[in-house]
Amino acid sequence: MSAVLFQESVLQSGDPLQPLLSQVPSPGSHLAIPVLFDALVQKYHQNRYSIFTQASSSKVAHDVFVAGKEREAVRLALERTLDRLNGGDITAWQTRFALWKTIELWGGYMEREPSWSRLLDIEAQATKQALNSGDPSTVGTLLGTLVSLERLDHDQAKLGPDVVRWCLAVSEPGGEF
């Protein structure tokens, strides 16, 4: 599927995910978003050297340049996708959790990069606020999201000791909450 949807020419065009998501009906989009996002991240990573080309006159090492461009493309896709997820229902939070889990497993998150830090901080604050709202149906998903955010960037997640205790109680990734 990703070979058809995310061809290199499409990946180089800028925002390959949002046109796809706009075609998916809203109730079903929450189910499609994590699958499409994960496929996009994998495609970026697998084809990063052919997608992100560098001018021969550049003084930046090629690997550094390509890694930076890949991170930026993934961050923009994540940011735009998170913006689509309005509302605090359980499926929206499950989708957000799946997106951050993809970022965690991808391994390209760079601590101290301001644009990533801002995005993670906004997500952590929104997740903590939702956790404080006390909706029991979302607690496990919210804690799972906070665990992923904490693993990605402890300083930006800014979890208080009470939230950390709950996060420590969460089972390992892939387990039940």
Give pLDDT tens digits for 64-92: 999 999 999 999 999 999 988 876 788 88
Whole-number Å distance between alpha carbons of 146 and 113: 19
The rounded percent of the chain whose pLDDT value lies above 90 is: 26
pTM here is 0.84
Task: Determine phi and psi for 39, rounding to 5 degrees.
Answer: -65, -40
Q: What is the pLDDT of residue 176?
A: 46
